Structures are given as C-alpha cells and as structure tokens.
Chains A and B, each alone.
Chain A
C-alpha cells in the first residue's frame, strides 16, 4: 500500500530530517534527575499520607452517618405500632346491660336485683381494684360524672350477701313493672368520647312502658 518509492518521493525531506542537528541533554542532567528522584520520593510519601487521610476522613464520616441513621430508623421502627394491629383493651370498668337482662328481670321479679348485682359486683370489684391503683386525681375526675359518686359509695360497702344497689339506684333501675332500666345506659369515664344520657323520671317511665308494650306484643305473637 505504501511502496518503497514513497520514501524516494520524499528522499530529500527524509535526508534533511535525518541530518537535523541532534539535541543533547544539558550539563548536569543526571544530577538534576537524582535530585528530583530524591525529592519526589519524599513528596510521594507525604502526598500518600495526605491522600489517605483526605480519603479516610470523608469515608469515616459517611460510615458514621450511616450507622447513626440505621440506629435511629431501627428504634423508631420498633416504637411504631400499626393502629389496626393493636389488640383492643378489655373495658372492665364498664357496666353493661343487655335486653336479656331485662327479660330475665321481668320473668323473675325476685331476681331483679340479684342478677345485675352479681354482674355489677364482679365488674365493680375489678373496677375498684383499678381505681385503687389509679391516681387520686383521676378518681376525683371520675366522680365528677353525674351519678357516679353514688355508685362508688355503694360499691365501697359491698359485702357478700348484702344488697349492692342503693335505694336511689334501685329507683332508677327498677321500674313499675319490675323492669330494669339503666339510669345512664353507660358508665362514663372522663376523656372518652362517649355520650352520656341522663333520662328524667318521666322519660324513664315512658321507655319502660314502651319496652313492656313491645314485650307483650312479642309474647302474644309467639305461641
């Protein structure tokens, strides 16, 4: 591709290039070279140290930050609880009345006061134990709820075999026809989002009448 006659074509040029004056190294070239080698050795050692430290410091900082972040994230993950996964707490401090209780009371007027008494006794004993543990401030707050102080007084005097409910409570709970109507259908605690309903005597009477009417209708329907 590039025959020898190419060299002939540029023969004069090539000859001139070959005959160019040879450049020589300056005097003391070797001495300067050794000086540079010796100084570059020390420089290299220094620069190696500085380079290492310059690289190590940011690397150490990054590692420390990563560890710190890991620890923080790990701790916060342990503290976090999914609200949908939390087991609901058992509300032992509430007294509940069901319609079964009402039926039971109607059929056995003598047991009217006893059945709920047992239930309330069991629950109130639990509640009472809780209250002992609770702060006195919380206790006083609870007592502020209407009707609560009376019940607590009653609970304080609970003894086996003795009637639990006071006459005033009984008046509220036991109607004309032996039916039990909760004075306030739920026992409230402060700071909970419950609605507290207090019925007047007339309203209670009305409710009892309506309930008894429904019960009678049910009875006539059933064979």
Chain B
C-alpha cells in the first residue's frame, strides 16, 4: 500500500527524504514552507527579488544538507534558522554596499539620512498604503528586534520556537520583541496616536 505523503508531518517528511531520498517528500515540504518563508524573508529585507532567491537558496540547502537535520529538532525551526541566517547575511551585505555607495558622493566621513517622502497622513487610510508604511517602518527597526517581531507577530511562532531559531534564551526573545514593538510603535505614532 502506497503511503500518502501529504498526511505526514514535516518531521516525518524530512525523515522520509533523508532515508529513502524520496523527492516527493521534499516537494511537499517546499509547498508547505515556500509562502511562510517568503513572508518572513520579505518582511525582513523588503525586497521581493532577493527574498525569492533567499528562499530558493534555503530549499537548496535543505536538499543538499538533509542529513544534517536531527530528528530531535522541529523541522520548521530548522528551516527558519537557515532562512534567517541567509536573510541576515544578505541584509548585512546590502547595508555595507549602501554605506559605501552613499559615502562615495559625500565628503570624507560624512553620511546622509535619506528622506522618506512616501508617507503622507492623508493617504494612510488605504489598507495597501498602510501595509507599505508598516513595512517601511519595520525596516527601520534594528535588525535583531525586527527579526524577533516578525517571527512572533507576523509568523505567529511561539516564544520557544523563536528562541530555538535565534539561538537565544526565551527571556531575551521576549525582551527583543518588546523593544522591537516599542520602536515600531514610535515610528508609527501618527497611526497609533493613543
């Protein structure tokens, strides 16, 4: 009797892929995780093109290094860890690149804050624009806080899962989420007046 792979959990699927090399199991995992990972990486980076590349790179790593997955860990924390590492690397690379490209036009040791003219209070009623404003504000939050806020409030993962993904204590996770929310609220004070 043929197994119905779609009934299997994430952990069972990756074990099936590990043991028998069944690529169908891998395809099901891709189907399950491609959108959540796209959402997570996009909210962290704010760039759809890079986000697609990073998520694909994440799956390539899962495919290639499937044997390094331990059945002790949850599959979703493992794959989020891979995606998070790749997203952080990309973010740092971009920041360095932006820093140097801006400095090239200025005087020595002089940096500039680029003005953000996208927000206009009269347009803030539209939900699409509100999403955009929130996304832009999110990108201004410090990266360590942003990652924690995205995992908790957008991906709706538990504190324990976030702790495992980021490799930090649960208390630190809560602290980072709280600080991230506070920064975000401050950035969006024109929306959340009270």
A-B complex is real = yes
Q: Report yes or no: B56 in contact with A23, Cβ–Cβ below 8 A.
A: no
Query: Smallest Cβ distance from B27 to chain A, in angstroms?
Result: 7
**A20 is contacted by which of B31, B131, B185 (Cβ under 8 Å)?**
B131
A178–B31 alpha-carbon span in the complex (Å) = 128
B86 interface hit (Cβ, 8 Å) = no
Count A/B pairs, Cβ under 8 Å.
77
A18 interface hit (Cβ, 8 Å) = yes
Q: Which of B44-86 contact A (CB under 8 A)?
A: 48, 51-52, 55-56, 59-60, 63-64
Q: Which of B152-173 contact A (CB under 8 A)?
A: 153-154, 156, 171
Q: Report yes or no: A21 in contact with B131, Cβ–Cβ below 8 A.
A: yes
A214 interface hit (Cβ, 8 Å) = no
**B175 is contacted by which of A2, A23, A37 (Cβ under 8 Å)?**
A2
**Chain A: interface size category:** 20 to 34
Q: Report yes or no: B175 in contact with A18, Cβ–Cβ below 8 A.
A: no
Query: Smallest Cβ distance from B190 to chain A, in angstroms?
Result: 13
A23–B153 alpha-carbon span in the complex (Å) = 15
A2–B156 alpha-carbon span in the complex (Å) = 17
A98 interface hit (Cβ, 8 Å) = no
Closest B residue to A24 by beta carbon equals: B35
Closest A residue to B174 by beta carbon equals: A2
Q: Report yes or no: B56 in contact with A36, Cβ–Cβ below 8 A.
A: yes
A32 interface hit (Cβ, 8 Å) = yes
User: Which residues does chain A contribute within 8 Å of B188, judged by CB atoms?
Assistant: 13
B135 interface hit (Cβ, 8 Å) = yes
A25–B60 alpha-carbon span in the complex (Å) = 15
User: Which residues does chain B contribute within 8 Å of A40, judged by CB atoms?
Assistant: 60, 64
Interface string of A25-66 (1 = CB under 8 A from B): 110011011001100100010000000000000000000000
B89 interface hit (Cβ, 8 Å) = no
Q: Report yes or no: B192 in contact with A13, Cβ–Cβ below 8 A.
A: yes
Q: Which of B1-42 contact A (CB under 8 A)?
A: 27, 30-31, 34-35, 38-39, 42
A14–B178 alpha-carbon span in the complex (Å) = 11
Q: Report yes or no: B178 in contact with A2, Cβ–Cβ below 8 A.
A: yes
Closest B residue to A30 by beta carbon equals: B30
Known: A12-B192, A13-B192, A29-B34. A23 touches B178 (CB 8 A): no
User: Which residues does chain A contribute within 8 Å of B30, judged by CB atoms?
Assistant: 29-30, 33
Q: Report yes or no: B56 in contact with A29, Cβ–Cβ below 8 A.
A: yes
Query: Smallest Cβ distance from B83 to chain A, in angstroms?
Result: 13
Query: Smallest Cβ distance from B79 to chain A, in angstroms?
Result: 14
A10 interface hit (Cβ, 8 Å) = yes
Query: Smallest Cβ distance from B40 to chain A, in angstroms?
Result: 9
Q: Report yes or no: A10 in contact with B185, Cβ–Cβ below 8 A.
A: yes
B87 interface hit (Cβ, 8 Å) = no
**A10 is contacted by which of B51, B55, B130, B181 (Cβ under 8 Å)?**
B181
Q: A24-B38, A25-B35 are in contact. List 7 more A-B contacts (CB 8 A).
A: A2-B177, A10-B182, A16-B134, A17-B149, A29-B55, A30-B31, A32-B56
Interface on B for A, CB 8 Å cutoff? 27, 30-31, 34-35, 38-39, 42-43, 48, 51-52, 55-56, 59-60, 63-64, 128, 130-131, 134-135, 149, 153-154, 156, 171, 174-175, 177-178, 181-182, 184-185, 188, 192
Q: List 11 A-B contacts (CB under 8 A).
A: A2-B177, A13-B192, A14-B153, A14-B181, A17-B149, A18-B153, A24-B38, A25-B34, A36-B56, A37-B60, A40-B60
Interface on A for B, CB 8 Å cutoff? 1-2, 6, 10, 12-14, 16-18, 20-26, 29-30, 32-33, 36-37, 40, 44
